[in-house]
Chains A and B, each alone.
Chain A
């Protein structure tokens, strides 16, 4: 158990460092798409909710799991849809308007 925890912290810290580095390179121009993209990615808690909703541990777990699956799916699908919608809008100048 302790070994697993230490291992988890390794992963957490290394991922946080990578995240810090990568995200520091994102220009302010794209900060809103960044937020909605990380929103979508954090919908990964779906992974936990799916098991709770499908495992039939007990009624309460199933119900909570179902609500969590719905909430997380809204984030994943909505997050990616809206990020793409935003990114499609960012255009470079088409060689000087005449």
Chain B
């Protein structure tokens, strides 16, 4: 009887998860969707607490209380600009939980494991461990604890690939001989090591793809747990999470015109030197530098403005200053729109969340495909801390490492104002010829400070 009830609760939870994610199709239904998903989670937990193996609840309750306290504190206190770091950390926790459940299962059953369950545990532990250290590395890079510049060395790809092969070979041996515990802990150790090594060569600009990929791995690790425990709700939720990370990874790599393998094995930054110097060598065209007052004059005359935010806006926490400027412009009768490149920032949707935080209505935010033709009809494109996603070299210079990547046609606007800290190239280390075009005005300085000054100058 209890078993049937538990299954019914799990089934209801699975349906609610799917309906909850469906809610995210539109901002109006999103919050309601999340309530459904929350109810689903509650049902799944209640169902699990009825499990006949559970004899005491003290550790479960302590874990709940501790986890809820930390989770709520993190959820409420983390600023929106730190969202990529938070997401990376939660992938790490997810991976850790999956890996630990796997270790616990192996420790308990060890020798008596059937080959199928052993294979599932192996995958669970490998993926969980890899997700854990990989996500911690991503967190470290985002937080600046580890250099965001790709770390590469000779034979890196070859050694990484052979490690993956070794891990899989050990896994196969373990399936044949589940009692061989050393092999099991080698898989665990290799998982931890691979996570570090795979993320090491990845640069800051590639973070959106890596975070999506780790999202997918965390889901697959959860699904593998489901296979180990023969638990369908785990399999379903894990598959949903895995699919979500997979879809996002595809969108992100398309937006960079790069394949998965290219991102994982072709660290940005080292191939670029030739192309980068080629552009610089073109006579070092003069940069048209402008002051905040000059920028304000250009904006005052504009009928239409498209704001292009990038990671620099997040770093300078300039989203509120952007909003203030847009409001003043709108009061002057200027139409203001925002153009969001899929890989602007450090995770999928990063810019949207920041602008939403600054109370920018979401119907002013446009995706690459929806707005790219409008630049030609626009008076001013205002680039706030974006670089590679507005680099015309992606369209014109076949030698550029980002050639073929879809970029925002900022250069087609009548005038371009670029707010940037300095002439330093972006994370990809590529020179941007947009900055030396005659219709581009470069305004150097802290984006937030500059925007505030421009806004003040525009106020009547």
Contact = CB atoms under 8 A, between A and B. Distances in A.
Interface of A: 1-2, 4-5, 8, 11-13, 15-20, 22-58, 60-62, 64-94, 97
7 contacts: A15-B239, A49-B101, A50-B60, A61-B107, A62-B59, A69-B59, A78-B75
B357 A77 contact: no
For A11, A13, A27, A74, the residue with the greatest tally of chain B CB atoms inside 10 Å of its CB is A74
A23 B247 contact: yes
Contacts of B98: 45, 48
A63 B130 CA distance: 21
A69 B21 contact: no
Interface string B293-319: 000000000000000000000000000
Given A48-B231, A90-B30, A97-B327, A30 B349 contact: yes
Interface stretch (B136-144, B146-154, B217-225, B385-393): B217-225
Contacts of A15: 14, 235-236, 239-240, 243
| B-side interface size class | 35 or more
The 10 closest A-B pairs by CB, nearest first: A73-B67, A81-B75, A69-B63, A19-B243, A31-B349, A77-B71, A78-B71, A32-B349, A31-B348, A93-B361
A66 B56 CA distance: 12
Interface stretch (B169-177, B363-371, B395-403): B363-371
A74 B74 contact: yes
A1 B218 CA distance: 25
Contact of B93 (A17, A66, A75, A90): A75
Interface string B81-104: 001001100110110111011011
A2 B51 CA distance: 24
A16 to B, nearest CB: 4
A39 B100 contact: no
A20 B107 contact: no
A47 B114 contact: no
Given A32-B352, A73-B63, 8 more contacts: A19-B244, A43-B94, A45-B221, A47-B48, A52-B101, A75-B90, A85-B76, A92-B361
A65 B340 CA distance: 42
Chain B interface helix/strand/loop/mixed = helix
A28 B367 contact: yes
A35 B31 contact: no
B242 interface: yes
A46 B342 CA distance: 32
For A28, A51, A72, the residue with the greatest tally of chain B CB atoms inside 10 Å of its CB is A28
A18 B40 CA distance: 17
B246 A58 contact: no
A26 B244 CA distance: 10
A46 B327 CA distance: 46
A20 B361 contact: no
Contact of A48 (B31, B74, B101): B101
B243 A58 contact: no
Given A33-B349, A35-B211, A74 B240 contact: no
